[in-house]
Amino acid sequence: MFFVLKAALSGLIIAAVSTIARRYPGLGALVASLPLISILGMVWLWQETKDPVRMGAHVGATFWYVIPSLPMFLLIPWMMRQGVPFYVALIAGCLVTFVLYSLTMWLATRLGVSL
């Protein structure tokens, strides 16, 4: 039952973002940029584990994974302004993010950061 609640609430947030963005793109972007999924993930993890060590590891790793995802939000609109179709730009953004995630994980292990 808890899984169904988590899935429904998460789905409602995604549906709300797309609905708001259809009429107010800037407001939709603001709602999408809020760390709602991260916050919900923390709440769900805490409810299921009550483990401060696990929570600390999760929140710390989330920080390090947000950083390499940011260039995607610059690359996609830039590519689309250059005439690249949306899905091609989206795939390129996802591939760049995957490469940057991989580099982040590699660099983190070199620096002793646990992800």
| Secondary structure (DSSP) of 96-107 | HHHHHHHHHHHH
* Structural domain containing residue 38: 1-50
Residue range 40-78, pLDDT digits in tens? 889 989 999 999 999 999 999 999 999 999 999 999 999
pTM for the complete prediction? Answer: 0.76
Instruction: Give me the phi and psi of 17, to 5 degrees please.
Output: -60, -50
- Secondary structure tally for the chain: helices H, strands E: 6, 0
From 50, 65, 82, give the residue that closes a domain. 50
Q: Is the pLDDT score of 88 beyond 90?
A: yes
Are 87 and 97 in contact, with CB atoms under 8 Å apart? no
Distance CA 90, CA 87 (A): 5
Say yes or no: 77 and 87 in one domain.
yes
pLDDT of residue 89: 98
> CB neighbours (10 Å) of residue 63?
10
Say yes or no: 81 and 39 in one domain.
no
